[in-house]
Structure 1
Amino acid sequence: MTFDFDLFVIGGGSGGVRAARIAAAEHGAKVALAEEFRMGGTCVIRGCVPKKLMVFASNFAQSVEDGREYGWDIRQNGFDWSKFRPRLDTELDRLEAAYRRTLHNANVTVFDSRAVLDDAHTVRLADGSVKTAKHILIATGGHPFVFDFPGSELAITSNDIFLLDELPKSILIVGGGYIACEFACILNGLGVQVTQYYRGDQILRGFDDEVRGHISDLISKQGVDLRLNADVAEMQRNEHGVSVTATDGGIHQFGAAMFATGRIPNTLGLGLEDIGVKIGKRGEIQVDEWSQTSVPSIFAVGDVTDRINLTPVAIREGHAFADTVFGGNPTRADHDQVPGAVFTQPEYGYVGMSEEEAQKEHRIEVYATAFRPMRGAFIGRDEKVLFKLIVDADTDRVLGVHIVADGAGELIQLAAIAVKMGATKKDFDRTVAVHPTIAEELVTMRTPVRTA
Structure 2
Amino acid sequence: MSFDYDLFVIGGGSGGVRAGRVAAEGGARVALAEESRMGGTCVIRGCVPKKLMVFASGYRQAVIDAQEYGWDLTPGSFDWPRFRARLDAELNRLESVYRTNLARPGTTIHDQRATVVDPHTLRLADGTTVTARHILVATGGKPFVPDTVPGAELAMTSNDVFQMEELPKSILIVGGGYIATEFAFILKGLGVEVTQYYRGAQVLRGFDEEARGLVAEAMGHAGIDLHCGTDVERIEKRDGQLWVKASTGREACFDKVLYATGRRPNTEGLGLEAAGISLGRNGAVPVDAHNQTSVPSIFAIGDVTDRVQLTPVAIREGAAFVETVFKGNPTTVDYENIPSAVFTQPELGAVGLTEEEAREREPVDIYCAAFRPMQHAFIGRQERVMFKLVVAKESRKVLGCHIVAPGAGEMIQIAAVAVKMGATKADFDAVVAVHPTMAEEIVLMKQPVRSY
TM (normalized to structure 2)?
0.99
> How far did 1:250 drift?
2.2
Partner of 1:142: 141
Q: Is the 8 A contact 1:364 1:390 kept in 2?
A: yes
Partner of 1:61: 60
Partner of 1:171: 171
Partner of 1:117: 116
Partner of 1:13: 13
Partner of 1:297: 297
Partner of 1:306: 306
> How far did 1:446 drift?
0.5
1:194 aligns with 2:198: no
> How far did 1:157 drift?
0.5
Structure 2 residues without counterparts, runs of 5 or longer: none
> How far did 1:48 drift?
0.2
Partner of 2:103: 104
Which residue identity does 1:239 align to in structure 2?
Answer: D
Partner of 1:373: 373
For 2:45 and 2:105, the matched residues in 1 are separated by 25
Is the deviation greater in 134-143 or in 328-337?
328-337
Q: How does 1:27-66 map to 2 (within 5 A)?
A: 27-66=26-65
Q: Is the 8 A contact 1:22 1:323 kept in 2?
A: no
For 2:316 and 2:434, the matched residues in 1 are separated by 32
For 1:266 and 1:40, the matched residues in 2 are separated by 15
For 1:87 and 1:189, the matched residues in 2 are separated by 18
Partner of 1:244: 244
**What secondary structure, in the 3-state scheme, does the structure 2 residue paired with 1:304 have?**
helix
> How far did 1:255 drift?
0.6
Partner of 2:182: 182
For 1:246 and 1:363, the matched residues in 2 are separated by 42
Which residue identity does 1:72 align to in structure 2?
Answer: W
Q: Is the 8 A contact 1:9 1:138 kept in 2?
A: yes
> How far did 1:156 drift?
0.3
For 2:329 and 2:150, the matched residues in 1 are separated by 53
For 2:401 and 2:21, the matched residues in 1 are separated by 34
Identity of aligned residues (%): 62
Instruction: Give per-residue Cα distances to partners, 1:292-339, cap 9 Å, x unaligned.
Output: 000000000000001000000000000010111001211101211100
Which residue identity does 2:102 align to in structure 1?
Answer: L
> How far did 1:145 drift?
0.5
1:85 aligns with 2:84: yes
**What secondary structure, in the 3-state scheme, does the structure 1 residue paired with 2:8 have?**
strand
For 2:402 and 2:365, the matched residues in 1 are separated by 14
1:205 aligns with 2:205: yes
Partner of 2:93: 94
Q: Is the 8 A contact 1:35 1:111 kept in 2?
A: yes
Which residue identity does 1:384 align to in structure 2?
Answer: R
> How far did 1:238 drift?
2.5
Q: Is the 8 A contact 1:278 1:293 kept in 2?
A: no
For 2:330 and 2:75, the matched residues in 1 are separated by 56
Which residue identity does 1:142 align to in structure 2?
Answer: G
> How far did 1:248 drift?
2.1
Which residue identity does 2:40 align to in structure 1?
Answer: G
Q: Is the 8 A contact 1:286 1:305 kept in 2?
A: yes
Partner of 2:321: 321
Partner of 2:358: 358
For 1:184 and 1:60, the matched residues in 2 are separated by 16
Q: Is the 8 A contact 1:195 1:224 kept in 2?
A: yes
For 1:246 and 1:276, the matched residues in 2 are separated by 43
Partner of 1:265: 265
Q: Is the 8 A contact 1:340 1:350 kept in 2?
A: yes
> How far did 1:438 drift?
0.5
Which residue identity does 1:348 align to in structure 2?
Answer: L
For 2:227 and 2:221, the matched residues in 1 are separated by 13
Which residue identity does 2:353 align to in structure 1?
Answer: M
For 1:312 and 1:354, the matched residues in 2 are separated by 21
Q: Is the 8 A contact 1:171 1:258 kept in 2?
A: yes
> How far did 1:106 drift?
1.8
Which residue identity does 2:138 align to in structure 1?
Answer: A
Which residue identity does 2:344 align to in structure 1?
Answer: T
> How far did 1:37 drift?
0.2
**What secondary structure, in the 3-state scheme, does the structure 2 residue paired with 1:274 have?**
coil
1:224 aligns with 2:224: yes
For 2:68 and 2:116, the matched residues in 1 are separated by 61
Partner of 1:401: 401
Instruction: Give per-residue Cα distances to partners, 1:83-124, cap 9 Å, x unaligned.
Output: 101000000000000000001112110000100000000010
Q: Is the 8 A contact 1:320 1:331 kept in 2?
A: yes
Which residue identity does 2:67 align to in structure 1?
Answer: R
For 1:278 and 1:394, the matched residues in 2 are separated by 44
Is the deviation greater in 197-206 or in 47-56?
197-206
**What secondary structure, in the 3-state scheme, does the structure 1 residue paired with 2:281 have?**
coil
For 2:250 and 2:343, the matched residues in 1 are separated by 31
**What secondary structure, in the 3-state scheme, does the structure 2 residue paired with 1:400 have?**
strand
Which residue identity does 1:349 align to in structure 2?
Answer: G
Instruction: Give per-residue Cα distances to partners, 1:227-264, cap 9 Å, x unaligned.
Output: 01111111111333211111122210101000001100
User: How many residues end up aligned between the 2 structures?
Assistant: 451
Q: Is the 8 A contact 1:13 1:40 kept in 2?
A: yes
Which residue identity does 1:327 align to in structure 2?
Answer: K
> How far did 1:4 drift?
0.3
Q: Is the 8 A contact 1:387 1:403 kept in 2?
A: yes
**What secondary structure, in the 3-state scheme, does the structure 1 residue paired with 2:337 have?**
coil
Q: Is the 8 A contact 1:230 1:246 kept in 2?
A: yes
Q: Is the 8 A contact 1:363 1:394 kept in 2?
A: yes
TM (normalized to structure 1)?
0.99
Which residue identity does 1:6 align to in structure 2?
Answer: D
Which residue identity does 1:158 align to in structure 2?
Answer: S
> How far did 1:19 drift?
0.3
1:129 aligns with 2:128: yes
> How far did 1:278 drift?
2.5
